[in-house]
Structure 1
Amino acid sequence: MAAFDISHRQLRHSQRLDLDTGLRVPVVQADAESLPFAPASFDLACSAFGALPFVAEPLRVLLEVRRVLRPGGLFVFSVSHPIRWAFPDDPGQRGLTSDRSYFDRTPYEERDDEGTPTYVEHHRTMGDWISLVVASGLTVRGLLEPEWPRGHDRVWGGWSPLRGRHLPGTAIFTCGA
């Protein structure tokens, strides 16, 4: 078992969790496009809203994951559901009306005062994700679009029971090597 992140700060959080739980997960600072692991070294790889939406060339990441998976291994990853991009990030009624094309692949960017990007998230359609998985040599074994949990009434950012009952917020892919 091992974990990695490009952010030193995130790895510090991991160390704190190790101390809090008494468990130790080996971590390494690494770029998802160049994993520092030997070929066929893992049976399972997971990415929960990790590198894939934040890299311009996600195929490079998928090829790296494929490389480090053993034959028969699984890769499970989650991304914001692609349909989200067509709707405003609003928990109210406004968040139920599309205001841009689902097919607009313009990345979402936040910039600092000097105009330097500080956050970039790339939009890909469901078809884009499937094509990328296939191009990497992985196979799609499953796709989960979790429904809003019954009885969950908390508003979180642009999400609410109103919006969550109508639109999936997450897509979870299970892929085999």
Structure 2
Amino acid sequence: MTPQDRHAGAERRLGTVGIAHRPVGRDEATMANLAWWDADADDYQAEHGEFLGDADFVWCPEGLREADAALLGDVRGLRVLEVGCGQAACSRWLAAAGAYPIGVDLSGGMLGHAKRANARTGLDIPLIQATAEALPLRPATVDAACSAFGALPFVASLDAVFAEVHRVLRPGGRWVFSVTHPMRWIFPDDPGPNGLTATQPYFDRTPYVEVDAAGRATYVEYHRTLGDYVRALAATGFRLDDLIEPEWPAGHTRVWGQWSPLRGKLFPGTAIFRTRKNT
């Protein structure tokens, strides 16, 4: 993974000059990723907005949709929290399906796109700017929670996020989230042949950091193993019902960052955890 693999516009605005692997605490990660997603919001939407849609629920670059997978079950009449909602396409799909969604995201830039999509679709989703590690909601006020590649790779503490989701969920509520499959950490972030050779230890949890000329973080991403996710879920009161590893579908030719047909036919790119709050 190199800075050149990420969007040049955000790198230029933030002064990104290189990468590092070093410990990063909560405050530094929050500040870096807030700045990153604000700087990258327009480019991200321009590149991926058509694929994600204005009111569609796409779990992953493999194209698995909630309309087909039904991982949240019947959402009609449910209050559903989307953690790291970005432009909130998933929340608008949930609203069209009869739910009462709420979108939370760290980035004002991404929420700006969410507000404009609300206006385009007429689906006026409530949007809140906040970190996933401190959700501004009362206890036991939502029926389900979801996150499609939102927030979790960019926070210092999985336990903090899971504890917050557990706090705001009603007993028995579902918590379903998708993340980059942890085994991808061992390969270069490259959709081509170079991305097929393992170069990074799976058990090295040192964060990936992009830095400016003064060494300040401009982007931070954390690695957790599958076991780390399972243990964090159990420690915060969730039962794991299923772990979905979507296969690359036939005829799907879209390249998204490191995701590609070449890599997708050989190993998984996404892990989706389907869990439930213990009663």
TM-score, normalised on structure 1?
A: 0.95
Q: What SS does the aligned partner of 2:223 have?
A: coil
Work out the CA distance in 1 between the residues paired with 2:159 and 2:152.
9
Instruction: State the distance in 2 between where 1:111 and 1:38 align.
Output: 36
Task: Work out whether 1:173 is the aligned partner of 2:273.
Answer: yes
Dislocated runs of 4+, deviation >3 Å: none
Aligned to 2:255: 155
Q: Return the match for 1:142 from 242, 247, 254.
A: 242
Indicate yes or no: 2:106 matched with 1:6.
yes
Deviations 1:96-130 (A, max 9, x none): 12112111111111112322111101000000110
SS at 1:100's partner residue? coil
How does 1:12-161 map onto structure 2 within 5 Å? 12-161=112-261
Partner Cα distance (1:11, 1:168) in 2: 30
State how many pairs are aligned.
177
Work out the CA distance in 2 between the residues paired with 1:38 and 1:155. Answer: 40
- How big is the shift at 1:7? 1.2
Structure with greater helix share of residues: 2
SS of match in other structure, 1:166:
coil
- Gaps spanning 5+ residues in structure 2: where? 1-100
Query: Which consecutive residues of structure 1, in runs of 5 or more, have no partner in the other structure?
Result: none
AA aligned opposite 1:42: V
What does the per-residue CA deviation read over 1:55-113, in whole Å, with 9 as the maximum and x for residues that have no partner?
Answer: 11110110000000011100111111000000112222221121121111111111123
The secondary structure found in structure 2 opposite 1:130 is: helix
> Distance in 2 between the 1:159 and 1:28 partners?
30
Q: Which moved more, 1:73-82 or 1:105-114?
A: 105-114
Structure 1 residue 136 displacement after superposition: 0.7
